[in-house]
Amino acid sequence: MKYEKEISRRRTFAIISHPDAGKTTLTEKLLLFGGAIQTAGAVKSNKIKKHATSDFMEIERQRGISVATSVMTFEYKDCLINLLDTPGHKDFAEDTYRTLTAVDSVILVIDSVNGVEAQTRRLMEVCRMRDTPVIVFINKMDRDGKHRFDLLEEIEKELKLALHPMTWPINSGKDFKGVYDLHEKSLVLFTANTKADDEDALTIENLNDTLLDNKVGESDAQHLRDDVELIDGVHGELNVEEYLQGKVAPVFFGSAVNNFGVREMLNTFIRIAPIPRSRETSTRIVEVDEDKFSGFIFKIHANLDPKHRDRIGFMRVCSGRFERNKYYHHVRLNKDIRFSNPYSFLARSKDVIEDAYPGDVVGLFDTGNFKIGDTLTEGENFYFVGIPTFSPEIFKELVNKDPMKTKQLEKGIQQLTDEGVAQLFTQHGGNKKIIGCVGDLQFEVIQYRLLHEYSAACEFRTLPFYKACWLTTTNEKKLEDFLRFKQMNSAEDKDGHPVYLAQSEWFLNTEITNNPDIQFHFTSEVHK
């Protein structure tokens, strides 16, 4: 095990949340702990402001930020932490789903006032598909939120996730007095705007220590004793193995904006969060400690300058050691390429790096070789599995407004869909180009970028589809017939795989029932 030391100090994760729950604020506090930034306010929110959906400067601003903050690497207590950023806007959710394929664990932020929200649910579904270990941070305890037990029950029920409290709050809102650390058995009193290096934990002998009554008052002290007795009785010690299997999620209470409760979580995170693990491929399990390098592209970012078509591919290293200037095998294209300027994302600078290890994310300049999901190896042919494309939710026909620019439009849409901005389907028979996205904002981005980067004018015509299903069969004739009969509803995805476009859940269920020889899949994973 050549690289064991490097592998064991790495933690690669993402923070996920419904917009406004506090992801940016928590990110900033973690970077402060890691010494990667010096002042609060240094991390820019990557969300697109509510009223700016058609303001393209805002979209460009967001793209700029999202390049800068895509990966934030910092050190904390000998650990090398790679924090992968996820877009704040729901219309870019697919980008988030893909990023989740490149992390080993997540921290889920929940607003104590709003509880579980729409985006929280969807993100957790993606985590569950991969059994990603989750730590929950219940934020905004300084606001009058839901009752702590109700909140836990809501999260457990709505997210189908067993919870294990690691800290326990004393009240919330203006009566919030702090948290009791169930693991360290210490009391951490709430002080607003706690600095990163403050030592504010108070050791108490046990919960009957009168110091507790002195600090929080008799009534709250008694409540805490009762709560802790109940929790200890139910939960006991955290079973780390169950956390690593994605079965149990440790929970912390705090207030990110006040930097409260964050350190307790970070300390636990580096203690229990998974180090990079072995990964499944199309042919075999690739062990993380193999000598030979392998990695995959999970995100592609276009250059902000439209004159330069080069892009940045974000590659997650899965095994071995990645080296600058060494030739690697691009499995899909069956060609060897090398990278003279790979860079890392140490928070303050984009540095050209000489090498990288499992868990690291490397930025690779790309002139059009990469698609999301591409694999690089030292010669072996396999694909990493579990990097699926999910069904879009809005479908529109792409209409060319300038026949003189057909070529530019074709090239532009090809490249934008390679980047994962949207999905492209070609309708059978008619050659109609159908663009599928998760949110309306993406159509605006596509239209804007096609015009500014490819000089191609287009518009969109709404289509009545609600879901795309990838089709497989063991009876080719049946599938052929189905596609012919359902010509208006069938298409090919970008890689030529057959797809059924359903108008509604009812139609979809009917087709599933009527066609037992055809399998309907909700992700493209089946074709890997």
Q: Which residues bind ligand G4P (CB under 6 A)?
A: 17, 19-25, 45, 47, 88, 139-140, 142-143, 255-258
What are the beta bridge partners of residue 361? 316
List the end-to-end C-alpha distance of the chain, in Å, as a whole number. 29
Question: Could you tell me the smallest distance in angstroms from the CB atom of residue 118 to ligand G4P?
Answer: 14
Buried b (16+ CB within 10 A) or exposed e, 92-119: bbbbbbbbbbbbbbbbbbbbbbebbbeb
- List the beta strands (DSSP E) in 166-289: 167-170, 178-181, 186-189, 201-203, 248-253, 279-280, 285-286
Question: Could you tell me the smallest distance in angstroms from the CB atom of residue 139 to ligand G4P?
Answer: 5
Q: What burial class does residue 380 get, using C-beta atoms within 10 Å of its C-beta: 0-12 exposed, 13-18 middle, 19+ buried? A: middle
- 47 or 148: CB nearest ligand G4P: 47
- 47 or 449: CB nearest ligand G4P: 47
Q: How far apart are the C-alpha atoms of 209 and 200, rounded to whole Å?
A: 18
Question: Could you tell me the smallest distance in angstroms from the CB atom of residue 67 to ligand G4P?
Answer: 17
Give the side-chain half-sphere CA count within 13 A for 370. 30
For 363, other C-beta atoms within 10 Å of its C-beta total 23
Q: How far apart are the C-alpha atoms of 488 and 125, rounded to whole Å?
A: 31
Q: What burial class does residue 266 get, using C-beta atoms within 10 Å of its C-beta: 0-12 exposed, 13-18 middle, 19+ buried? A: buried
Question: Could you tell me the smallest distance in angstroms from the CB atom of residue 188 to ligand G4P?
Answer: 15
The full 3-state SS of 378-393, as one line of letters, equals: CCCCCCECCCCCECCC
Question: Could you tell me the smallest distance in angstroms from the CB atom of residue 20 to ligand G4P?
Answer: 4
Q: How far apart are the C-alpha atoms of 208 and 211, rounded to whole Å?
A: 8
Instruction: Yes or no: say if 177 and 216 are a contact pair by the CB < 8 Å rule.
Output: yes
- 34 or 313: CB nearest ligand G4P: 34
Residue that has been written with the tokens 């790979």 in this structure:
342
Question: Could you tell me the smallest distance in angstroms from the CB atom of residue 185 to ligand G4P?
Answer: 24
- 109 or 353: CB nearest ligand G4P: 109
- 88 or 420: CB nearest ligand G4P: 88
The identity of residue 435, as a single letter, is I
- 47 or 396: CB nearest ligand G4P: 47
- 118 or 399: CB nearest ligand G4P: 118
Question: Could you tell me the smallest distance in angstroms from the CB atom of residue 273 to ligand G4P?
Answer: 20
- List the beta strands (DSSP E) in 386-489: 394-400, 423-427, 433-437, 458-462, 467-473
Instruction: Yes or no: say if 482 and 475 are a contact pair by the CB < 8 Å rule.
Output: no
Structure tokens at 151: 């909140």
- 256 or 471: CB nearest ligand G4P: 256
Question: Could you tell me the smallest distance in angstroms from the CB atom of residue 246 to ligand G4P?
Answer: 22
Question: Could you tell me the smallest distance in angstroms from the CB atom of residue 113 to ligand G4P?
Answer: 9
Buried b (16+ CB within 10 A) or exposed e, 227-247: bbeebeeebeebeeeebbebe
Question: Could you tell me the smallest distance in angstroms from the CB atom of residue 91 to ligand G4P?
Answer: 14
- 13 or 357: CB nearest ligand G4P: 13
- 167 or 400: CB nearest ligand G4P: 167
